[in-house]
């Protein structure tokens, strides 16, 4: 397929949100994996709830609130210093080993739920280069709202049918497909496709498989 732009999700696709697990484990030995999983799940849940409630708050606040709730739910005492340390981990999340953007065609952009105070430092420290780094903070609503995907069309000046959207989050991939993008779901864990009435154009095991699909 001929594409003029590739748009990437950030959290969970390029950057491993569970790289915070080591810091979680340092704070609460034996609880790091449980906290990381609960934190991510509650973070996503809050974005969807706030969108439906039309009660937007920046992703940094959502992430902090999700951390505090998860610690309370797991019975973990969270000090202000620990909270700040764990939030700081989101500014230096690890890249997945399969992330390699060299040689991919067209414009490249990030379209993320992340607020600029979290997203901009993260992208800067990664060394990755993009034509645009787009945040839902402009619109005050989270993915998978259609207007979020339309933000990429307007900013890149490329019609939806000529944009490839890449995400490891199935709900995000299918939201992008419902909008009209060509969608590549990075299914690293072999999960089934969500039953939402649409299908990704391609299901890949790794970001490293993307160049072959685009030939």
Q: Which helix (H) or strand (E) holds 79?
A: none
For 59-87, the pLDDT digits (tens) are 999 999 999 999 999 999 999 999 999 99
Pair 175, 144: CB distance under 8 Å: yes
Give tens-digit pLDDT for 173-200.
999 999 999 999 999 999 999 999 999 9
pTM of the model: 0.95
Q: Could you tell me the pLDDT band of residue 103, with boundaries at 50, 70 and 90?
A: confident
Classify domain 5-15+94-214 at the CATH topology level: Rossmann fold (3.40.50)
* Closest by CA position to 24, among listed 38, 11, 12, 10: 38
The C-alpha angle with vertex 170 and arms to 167 and 59, in degrees rounded to 5, equals 70
**Structure confidence at residue 172 (pLDDT):** 98
CB 195, CB 176: distance < 8 Å: no
Average pLDDT value over all residues in the chain: 97
Q: Which residue numbers are catalytic? A: 9
DSSP 26-63: HHSTT-HHHHHHHHHHHHHHHHHHHHHHT----HHHHH
Alpha-carbon gap, residue 117 to 124, rounded angstroms: 12
Specify the domain boundaries for CATH 1.10.150.240 within the chain: 18-89
List, by residue range, all CATH 3.40.50.1000 domains of the chain. Answer: 5-15+94-214
> Torsions phi, psi of 191, nearest 5?
-80, 155
Q: Does domain 18-89 have CATH number 3.40.720.10?
A: no
pLDDT digits (tens, 9 = 90+) for 133-184: 999 999 999 999 999 999 999 999 999 999 999 999 999 999 999 999 999 9
* pLDDT surpassing 70 at residue 1: no
Q: Is 11 a residue whose pLDDT tops 90?
A: yes
Confidence at residue 2, expressed as pLDDT on a 0 to 100 scale? 85
Is the per-residue pLDDT at 210 higher than 90? yes
């Amino acid at each position: 397929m001929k594409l003029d732009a590739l748009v990437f999700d950030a959290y969970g696709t390029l950057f491993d949100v569970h790289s915070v697990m080591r810091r979680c484990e340092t704070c609460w030995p034996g609880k790091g994996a449980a906290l990381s999983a609960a934190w991510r799940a509650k973070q996503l849940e809050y974005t969807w709830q706030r969108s439906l409630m039309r009660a937007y708050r920046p992703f940094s606040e959502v992430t902090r609130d999700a951390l505090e709730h998860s610690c309370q739910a797991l019975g973990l005492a969270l000090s202000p210093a620990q909270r700040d340390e764990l939030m700081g981990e989101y500014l230096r999340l690890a890249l997945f080993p399969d992330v390699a953007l060299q040689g991919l065609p067209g414009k490249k952009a990030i379209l993320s739920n992340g607020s600029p105070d979290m997203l901009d430092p993260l992208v800067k420290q990664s060394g990755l280069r993009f034509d645009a780094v787009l945040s839902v903070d402009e619109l005050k609503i989270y993915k998978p709202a259609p207007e979020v995907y339309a933000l990429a069309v307007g900013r890149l000046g490329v019609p939806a049918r000529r944009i490839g959207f890449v995400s490891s989050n199935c709900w995000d991939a299918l939201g992008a497909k419902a909008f009209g993008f060509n969608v590549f779901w990075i299914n690293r864990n072999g999960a089934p496709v969500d039953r939402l009435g649409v299908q990704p154009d391609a299901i890949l095991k790794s970001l490293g498989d993307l160049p072959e699909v685009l030939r």
